[in-house]
Amino acid sequence: MSQDSAARLLPYGDSGVLVEAPDLAAAMRVGTVLRAALDGGRLEGVVDLVPAARTVLVVADVPGRQAPVAAAVRRALAGATDAAVLPGQARTVEVSVRYDGDDLDEVGRLTGRGTAGVVEAHTAAVWAVAFAGFAPGFAYLVDDDAGEDGPLVVPRRDEPRTRVPAGAVGLAGPFSGVYPRESPGGWQLIGSTHEAMWDLERDPAALLRPGDRVRFVEEAS
């Protein structure tokens, strides 16, 4: 964790500390360590963590506590071991997918794997929830083993769609994700699922949360 303990800490507003990591993998490690520290009561005065692709925002309970919060963050990162960032007891969620996406053939061409190879790679990977954003319930998933160099890294579409249906499963850059509701979007669509990514009747409402692992399972035809 030495590379993560050297992450840059910046004040954010009057009640936040922004931890800047050098890359996505480091940001995920930072988020895992800080979540464990928060759950273990070792981040006094912190009420929330907001992970993103290269940063983790640490939110203090009241304004003016940035200095002691930053000190607690540094202690947590400096004291973490490699064991602290292993999946361990991380929750694994299975998502059933019908691989019927409009861009499946194009992704097969872009990756050189063909459609069957895309399905095989997507279902073989263990995906980690790196962070959430874009819309409530939208989780950015990254191949837990390959990270940003996974076999399904593809560009976004040249022309985004004005309407992507809820449940669409897509790829963009190193990420996979499931659209929680109908919206515009530029990801390459490879499939669809009936799983509800966001349900206000459920606690918590989001099916996938940072730190979770996800396995995609192909629906029987």
Span 164-211, pLDDT tens digits:
999 999 999 999 999 999 999 999 999 999 999 999 999 989 999 888
The pLDDT of residue 85 is above 60: no
- Residue 161 near residue 186, CB atoms below 8 Å: yes
Question: Given 85, 108, 130, which residue is the final one in a domain?
Answer: 85
Residue 150 and residue 197 in one domain: yes
Question: Given 61, 85, 109, which residue is the final one in a domain?
Answer: 85
What CATH number is given to the structural domain containing 9?
3.30.1360.40
Best mean pLDDT range from 73-82, 116-125, 131-140, 209-218:
116-125
Residue 99 and residue 74 in one domain: no
Residue 205 and residue 121 in one domain: yes
Q: Which residue has the higher pLDDT, 221 or 156?
A: 156
Summarize the confidence of residues 120-126 as an average pLDDT.
96
What CATH number is given to the structural domain containing 197?
2.40.100.10
Number of domains into which the chain is organized: 2
- Residue 106 near residue 189, CB atoms below 8 Å: no
Give the C-alpha separation, 141 to 131, whole Å. 8
Summarize the confidence of residues 117-128 as an average pLDDT.
96
Residue 114 and residue 153 in one domain: yes
pLDDT score for 40: 87
Give the C-alpha separation, 136 to 187, whole Å. 17
Residue 72 and residue 43 in one domain: yes
Residue 113 and residue 201 in one domain: yes
The pLDDT of residue 152 is above 50: yes
Question: Given 51, 85, 119, which residue is the final one in a domain?
Answer: 85
pLDDT score for 1: 44
Q: Which residues pair with 128 in a beta bridge?
A: 142, 213
pLDDT score for 126: 95
Mean model confidence pLDDT for the chain: 89
Residue 146 pLDDT grade (very low, low, confident, very high; cuts 50, 70, 90): confident
Residue 80 and residue 97 in one domain: no
Residue 202 and residue 121 in one domain: yes
pLDDT score for 15: 87
Residue 146 and residue 212 in one domain: yes
What is the reported pTM?
0.83
Best mean pLDDT range from 45-49, 121-125, 132-136:
121-125
Residue 137 and residue 209 in one domain: yes
Residue 103 and residue 61 in one domain: no
pLDDT score for 89: 56
pLDDT score for 6: 62
- Residue 138 near residue 179, CB atoms below 8 Å: yes
Summarize the confidence of residues 77-86 as an average pLDDT.
63
User: What percent of the chain clears pLDDT 90, i.e. is strictly above it?
Assistant: 66
Give the C-alpha separation, 40 to 80, whole Å. 13
Give the C-alpha separation, 182 to 192, whole Å. 12
Residue 97 and residue 177 in one domain: yes
Range of the domain at 119: 92-218
